[in-house]
């Protein structure tokens, strides 16, 4: 599975890998594409191929497990390694949006959505206020389901199938948000997406394809995209205007498109185990 970014910064044992659901372990097969630079330091790794439209800087035992395709220069220091072949690109790739008009999609979904399900659900309506869905279990009292999740009393909040438009979406404080059985859920989040403090958002890697989150905000203009502090998530994230950090043991399963990725402190980004014979493309298939 391909992961697409503007720039990529990985440090302090952060890694990008495929995830084998049968064995529960990380494995080879996570190809990433960056339109800009890739910087890898301090035992960071990518278990797959890397495409870079800019330069690649590697130091302190960082590793690319597959081939490297780059338009700029490669700098390696302090036992860093590229296990495959280094290929030079004649031209840097151009960012690919494939005609997806983010503003138009967000505007349309703000008027055409299934938010009534959040308002009518006896559990979800407790957390849905002012156009935002905020599930914060820091003080307890989040159990709406008889299904225990992990520690006793840690019960999931269940999202039904549908497409929802949210001003903000926050999951924190040991909260668990899952999808209904067999449900496919789309969340169009305007300007605030926060998952933190031991929260779990659809944590089943096998169902990452069932949750799509489209994030409309620019994080340089006040938008908040925050994933941190021992949180697990499985989803498809499209946030082309956002800078995303994966610090402090955040585990994200699925696929993402962001402007910039910064992984650190054992953060992990996992894809499925699909291995491509060709390098990840950076142009639209028309």
pLDDT digits (tens, 9 = 90+) for 149-176: 554 446 789 999 999 999 999 999 889 9
State both tokens at 154.
């840690």
The candidate with the shortest Cα–Cα distance to 246, out of 222, 235, 230, is 230
CA gap 190, 215 in Å, rounded = 6
At residue 137, the pLDDT reads 86
For residue range 257-273, what is the model confidence (pLDDT) as tens digits?
898 999 988 889 998 65
State both tokens at 223.
């938008």
For residue range 17-53, what is the model confidence (pLDDT) as tens digits?
998 877 778 899 888 889 899 999 999 999 999 999 9
State both tokens at 97.
């949006």
- CA distances, 104 to each of 97, 108, 185, 188, 285 (Å): 14, 6, 20, 12, 22
For residue range 57-96, what is the model confidence (pLDDT) as tens digits?
999 999 999 999 999 999 999 999 999 999 999 877 666 5
Check pLDDT > 60 for residue 2.
no
At residue 115, the pLDDT reads 98
Q: What is the mean pLDDT of residues 98-106?
A: 84
The candidate with the shortest Cα–Cα distance to 95, out of 179, 30, 5, is 5
């Amino acid at each position: 599975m391909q992961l697409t970014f503007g720039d990529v910064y990985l440090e302090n044992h952060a890694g990008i890998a495929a995830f084998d659901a049968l064995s529960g372990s990380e494995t080879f097969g996570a190809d990433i594409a960056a339109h800009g630079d890739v910087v890898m330091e301090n035992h960071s790794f990518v278990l797959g191929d890397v495409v870079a439209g800019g330069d690649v800087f590697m130091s302190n035992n960082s590793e690319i497990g597959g081939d490297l395709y780059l338009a700029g220069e490669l700098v390696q220091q302090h036992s860093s390694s590229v296990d495959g072949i280094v290929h030079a690109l004649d031209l840097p790739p151009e960012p690919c949006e494939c005609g997806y008009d983010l503003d138009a999609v967000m505007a349309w979904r703000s008027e055409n959505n299934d938010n009534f399900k959040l308002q009518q659900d006896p559990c979800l309506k407790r957390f849905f206020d002012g156009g935002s869905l905020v599930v914060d279990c820091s003080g307890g009292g989040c159990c709406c389901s008889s299904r225990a999740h992990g520690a006793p009393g840690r019960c999931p909040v269940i999202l039904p199938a549908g497409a929802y438009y949210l001003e903000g979406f926050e999951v924190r404080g040991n909260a668990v948000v899952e999808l209904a059985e067999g449900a496919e859920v789309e969340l169009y989040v305007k300007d605030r997406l926060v998952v933190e403090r031991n929260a779990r958002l659809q944590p089943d890697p096998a169902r990452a394809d069932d949750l799509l989150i489209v994030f409309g905000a620019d994080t340089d203009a006040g938008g908040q995209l925050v994933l941190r502090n021992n949180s697990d998530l499985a989803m498809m994230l499209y946030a082309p205007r956002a800078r995303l950090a994966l610090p402090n043991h955040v585990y994200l399963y699925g696929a993402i498109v962001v402007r910039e990725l910064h992984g650190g402190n054992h953060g992990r980004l996992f894809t499925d185990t699909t291995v491509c014979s060709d390098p990840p493309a950076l142009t639209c298939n028309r």
